[in-house]
A and B are shown apart, each in its own frame.
Chain A
Amino acid sequence: MDSFTCSDCGFSTNDATSYSQEFLCPRCGGTMEESSSPLERTPVNRDLPLNAGSVGRPGPQRIRTAFIGAGSEYFRIWIINLFLTIITLGIYGAWAKVRNRKYLYANTLIAAQPFDYLADPLAILKGNLIIAAGFIIYLLTQAYNPVYTGAVVILFYLVLPFLVYKSLRFLAHNSSFRNIRFHFYGTLSQSYKIYVLIPLLIPFTLGLITPYWAYRRKKYFFENMAFGTTPATFSGRAGFFYKVYAKALLLILAVVFGAGIFAAVLIPAAHKAFIAGQQFSPGIGFITSMVLIYLFMILGGTLIQQYIHARLTNYCWNESRIGQVKFRSSLKARNLFWIQFTNILAMIFSLGLLIPWAKIRKSRYVFDNMMVIATRGFDEFTAETEPEITALGDSATDFFDLEIGL
């Protein structure tokens, strides 16, 4: 039997009978080639229970990753699940979340094999309920006495490292590739060191420790991941983070300076318009200048955020490996900025309806620029057993919108 492999996403099949002509990749629409391609998955004539090892050709293979989700399809899934979440007053939210994430995972491919998200919605529902209770307590104390609100906030920061730790474990445990789960081996004490101790030092070091803090957070994620029984290694250094943050600081200064000039010109102008002409409703000039300044801040903020994100993401992936598998990420700050900025505008002007399209668009860019380098294919990883993990951390970090890890 012949085997065919897609030159774009690496999808391969041995069933070519119905595609005698115009054989396009069924997953991404790329051109299918006969299996002499270096992207070849596994030789077809292979004994099933035999020991693994002898894969295709020797030497490192560069394998492209692909994201093949379709905006229109994801839009339908997203809308229906949002609708069900709203009419069940948020209860179905746990199922909706699993379904959304499953879709994104199932369309992320390495050498034609998709990822899978295995979380149990009931576990997420439990986490959501606990978080909702915590939020109600926060609101009540806020209304009752601001002193207690402070206590609740401090309590939250003390629980945060636990939530981050739990969330990373939950996320890793419920992500799988080729029916092998990921694992997170970071410890709770590391998490407390990174999310409580180091931030406490920031004021005393005049913020100079901030890049180091970012470094430790990334390191916590990348160093402690494992695919099955194979741990990841991370060789990144803090020095690079300092370089990126120094450049970002220059960008921030430029943006703040620009916003200052902008505001200095706009607000007096708006006031003048108000005083001079009564044909203006007094609000209009003010609102217009607020909107313009708001836009400028989004623009500048997104630029800096995406610059840091692109540089650090590339660096961290490039310095990581899992067994013999290495990664090459080549995100460009200016492309990411453009995607993110237009995404935000699209989401605002579509009243949120383009959120799924925006997500698909960004994922496509990220995975189009990711390459996996494997010397001996993906067949040699083995699974490890781990007890079920509760979802408290997972929903907490989503709810409070924390940026962790990736």
Chain B
Amino acid sequence: MNKRDKARNKFQGISPENPCPSQQTQIPLEFSGTYFDGMSSRAHPVTIVFDGEFLNIHADKTTPVITVSLDECVFKEPLGITRRSISLPDGALCETYDGCAVEALERLKGANKGMNIVHILESNWITVAAGIAGLVLFIWGFTVYAIPYLAEKAAYSMPVELTDSINDKTLDMLDDRFVAPSELSEEKAAAIHALFLNITNEDTGFDYRLELRKGHTLGANAFALPAGTIVITDELVELAQNDREIAGVIVHELAHVRMRHGLRSIFQNAGVFLLVSVLAGDVTSITSTAATFPTFIIESGYSRDFERQADAAAGAYCIREGWTTKPYEDILMHLSENSQGKSGPSWLSSHPDIQERIRLIQELDNKPSQTGDNPGNIDRH
């Protein structure tokens, strides 16, 4: 214990290491303090004597005693070992460092029961350690289970009109700012549309549409919009060695649509933002830079999960078609090589660790039993 703490404890007598001597209230109870009348800032050193019913506040022997009944006093809640305040009628206030005396009066009156519990929790290192453990557990449960679960529920309960609207607005935004009309030959475009129709054939869950665009700064890229529109850039089509590779990308994007990854990530990111701002909310400017870091880590974890799920769907599709996962691995490799030395957003940027992705996809080849029809069931851990 340092000098500062030692001195504080000696004076207060109410720290956890050094609790008040007696639980019994002695009457008369006498303690010293400072009186403020509420009209002026003047501090009056006083002695307070409690006679069992009234607090008698004495300044010195020549002045009249101020008498206040215990019922009229409002005890402000205890906080650490800071001075205790007693609000008196007409805005007057008594402050004292004699925590034990105030504790005794409080007990008599039955005041501040709730805040006294908080105070006891705060005063004890064991409860504080339990609080840290509880916090860690809660944050972990919240980010791993609650936020993804709630975001999923919210995404699936979004009205169709809303997803349609987001879909169209996003496509407009892409057209306005990033992409240009496709420059692919008509035969090539027709072939890809046929491929797309073939893949989406049996699925009527969404209003699937394929849009081909020139990517420009976005390069070889593909996007899934929430209502079922898939955008593929010319550059990606040119990068693919055959239709099977493009099929893999299409299935990947369709999996994002089917599992509503777009909406879910909007809701998840909002959840993380709320969580981080509640956690760091109390501290303002210092943490604003630092708080972006955990947010970033959690959010990229979520998007990795989504990529993994979509990869699993694409791999499973390739296996069902009897191609093994090779075409899909090939297109990932092409994309990875293609994006080197280029800045700007890439199809891979949400998951830079391409080796790890390919390894996971290869595992699918060895476990054909897991290639079920519902990619949503694939474990994300």
Report which A residues bind B (CB closer than 8 A).
Answer: 13-15, 24-29, 41-42, 44-49, 52, 68, 70, 72-87, 90, 93, 96-97, 99-100, 102-103, 106-107, 113-114, 116, 135, 139, 142-146, 177-180, 227-228, 271, 274-275, 281-283, 286, 298, 301, 305, 340, 343-344, 347-348, 351-353, 355, 358-359, 378-383, 398-399, 401, 403
* Partner among B40, B124, B132, B277 whose Cβ is within 8 Å of the Cβ of A52: B40
B110 within 8 A of A: no
Q: Chain A residues with Cβ under 8 A from B80's Cβ?
A: 70, 73-74, 77, 103, 106
By the criterion of a CB under 8 Å from any partner CB, how many residues of chain B are at the interface? 86
The answer to whether A347 and B286 touch across the interface, beta carbons within 8 angstroms, is: yes
The answer to whether A26 and B97 touch across the interface, beta carbons within 8 angstroms, is: yes
The answer to whether B38 and A383 touch across the interface, beta carbons within 8 angstroms, is: yes
Q: Chain B residues with Cβ under 8 A from A114's Cβ?
A: 82-83, 95
* Partner among B43, B134, B285, B288 whose Cβ is within 8 Å of the Cβ of A87: B134
As a 0/1 sequence over residues 6 to 25 of chain B, the CB contacts with chain A under 8 angstroms (1 = contact) are 11101110000000000000
CB distance from A145 to the nearest CB of B (A): 5
The answer to whether A381 and B135 touch across the interface, beta carbons within 8 angstroms, is: no
Contact A286 to B138, CB < 8 A, known contacts A80-B127, A228-B41, A358-B286: no
Q: Chain A residues with Cβ under 8 A from B6's Cβ?
A: 24, 29
The answer to whether A47 and B79 touch across the interface, beta carbons within 8 angstroms, is: no
The answer to whether A93 and B59 touch across the interface, beta carbons within 8 angstroms, is: no
* Partner among A46, A87, A97, A103 whose Cβ is within 8 Å of the Cβ of B44: A46
Query: How far apart are the CA atoms of A74 and B5 in the complex, in Å?
Result: 13
The interface-forming segment of B188-196, B235-243, B351-359 is B351-359
Q: Chain B residues with Cβ under 8 A from A380's Cβ?
A: 40-42
Q: Chain A residues with Cβ under 8 A from B138's Cβ?
A: 83, 86-87
Q: List 28 A-B contacts (CB under 8 A).
A: A26-B8, A29-B8, A46-B44, A46-B59, A48-B35, A49-B63, A49-B64, A80-B131, A83-B134, A90-B278, A100-B282, A114-B95, A143-B166, A144-B162, A144-B166, A145-B165, A178-B42, A179-B91, A282-B353, A283-B353, A286-B352, A352-B287, A355-B286, A380-B40, A383-B40, A398-B282, A398-B284, A401-B288
Contact A344 to B165, CB < 8 A, known contacts A42-B43, A378-B41: no
The answer to whether A77 and B135 touch across the interface, beta carbons within 8 angstroms, is: no
* Partner among A14, A79, A352 whose Cβ is within 8 Å of the Cβ of B280: A352
Q: Chain A residues with Cβ under 8 A from B341's Cβ?
A: 271
As a 0/1 sequence over residues 259 to 291 of chain B, the CB contacts with chain A under 8 angstroms (1 = contact) are 000010010001000100111111111111110
CB distance from B255 to the nearest CB of A (A): 21
Among B97, B122, B284, B293, max chain A CB count under 10 A is at B122
The answer to whether A113 and B43 touch across the interface, beta carbons within 8 angstroms, is: yes
As a 0/1 sequence over residues 286 to 303 of chain B, the CB contacts with chain A under 8 angstroms (1 = contact) are 111110011000000000
Q: Chain B residues with Cβ under 8 A from A403's Cβ?
A: 284-285
* Partner among B45, B139, B290, B353 whose Cβ is within 8 Å of the Cβ of A344: B290
The answer to whether A70 and B5 touch across the interface, beta carbons within 8 angstroms, is: yes
B350 within 8 A of A: no
The answer to whether A77 and B122 touch across the interface, beta carbons within 8 angstroms, is: yes
* Partner among A97, A143, A146, A348 whose Cβ is within 8 Å of the Cβ of B263: A143
Chain A residue at minimum C-beta to C-beta distance from B12 = A26
Q: Chain B residues with Cβ under 8 A from A228's Cβ?
A: 41
The answer to whether B40 and A379 touch across the interface, beta carbons within 8 angstroms, is: yes
CB distance from A91 to the nearest CB of B (A): 11
The answer to whether B340 and A70 touch across the interface, beta carbons within 8 angstroms, is: no
The answer to whether A25 and B7 touch across the interface, beta carbons within 8 angstroms, is: yes
The answer to whether B279 and A82 touch across the interface, beta carbons within 8 angstroms, is: yes
Query: How far apart are the CA atoms of A323 and B135 in the complex, in Å?
Result: 47
The answer to whether A76 and B128 touch across the interface, beta carbons within 8 angstroms, is: yes
B197 within 8 A of A: no
Report which B residues bind A (CB closer than 8 A).
Answer: 2-8, 10-12, 32, 34-46, 59-60, 62-64, 66, 79-83, 85, 91-93, 95, 97, 118, 121-125, 127-128, 131-132, 134-135, 138-139, 162, 165-166, 169, 173, 263, 266, 270, 274, 277-290, 293-294, 340-341, 352-355
The answer to whether A283 and B352 touch across the interface, beta carbons within 8 angstroms, is: yes
Chain B residue at minimum C-beta to C-beta distance from A101 = B282
CB distance from A343 to the nearest CB of B (A): 6
The answer to whether B36 and A178 touch across the interface, beta carbons within 8 angstroms, is: yes
Query: How far apart are the CA atoms of A102 and B76 in the complex, in Å?
Result: 11
The answer to whether B42 and A347 touch across the interface, beta carbons within 8 angstroms, is: no
Query: How far apart are the CA atoms of A358 and B41 in the complex, in Å?
Result: 32
Chain B residue at minimum C-beta to C-beta distance from A378 = B41
Q: Chain B residues with Cβ under 8 A from A77's Cβ?
A: 79-80, 122
The answer to whether B40 and A381 touch across the interface, beta carbons within 8 angstroms, is: yes
Query: How far apart are the CA atoms of A19 and B112 in the complex, in Å?
Result: 32
CB distance from A16 to the nearest CB of B (A): 11
The answer to whether A79 and B135 touch across the interface, beta carbons within 8 angstroms, is: yes
CB distance from A120 to the nearest CB of B (A): 12
14 further A-B pairs in the complex, CB-CB below 8 A; given A86-B278, A352-B279:
A46-B45, A48-B60, A52-B40, A74-B80, A75-B128, A86-B279, A106-B80, A114-B83, A178-B42, A180-B40, A227-B41, A348-B290, A383-B41, A403-B285
Contact A178 to B353, CB < 8 A, known contacts A86-B279, A102-B79, A275-B340: no
Query: How far apart are the CA atoms of A84 and B43 in the complex, in Å?
Result: 36
Chain A residue at minimum C-beta to C-beta distance from B65 = A48
Q: Chain B residues with Cβ under 8 A from A353's Cβ?
A: 132
Query: How far apart are the CA atoms of A107 and B79 in the complex, in Å?
Result: 11
Contact A80 to B122, CB < 8 A, known contacts A114-B83, A228-B41, A381-B41: yes
CB distance from B247 to the nearest CB of A (A): 26
Contact A44 to B45, CB < 8 A, known contacts A102-B79, A398-B284: yes
The answer to whether A85 and B278 touch across the interface, beta carbons within 8 angstroms, is: yes
Query: How far apart are the CA atoms of A301 and B194 in the complex, in Å?
Result: 54
Q: Chain B residues with Cβ under 8 A from A379's Cβ?
A: 40-43
Chain B residue at minimum C-beta to C-beta distance from A281 = B353
Contact A83 to B131, CB < 8 A, known contacts A26-B12, A48-B44: yes
CB distance from B275 to the nearest CB of A (A): 8
Q: Chain B residues with Cβ under 8 A from A301's Cβ?
A: 289
The answer to whether A86 and B135 touch across the interface, beta carbons within 8 angstroms, is: yes
The answer to whether B41 and A27 touch across the interface, beta carbons within 8 angstroms, is: no
The answer to whether B12 and A145 touch across the interface, beta carbons within 8 angstroms, is: no
Q: Chain A residues with Cβ under 8 A from B287's Cβ?
A: 347, 352, 355
Chain B residue at minimum C-beta to C-beta distance from A271 = B341
The answer to whether B128 and A79 touch across the interface, beta carbons within 8 angstroms, is: yes
CB distance from A90 to the nearest CB of B (A): 5
Query: How far apart are the CA atoms of A102 and B263 in the complex, in Å?
Result: 41
Chain A residue at minimum C-beta to C-beta distance from B59 = A48
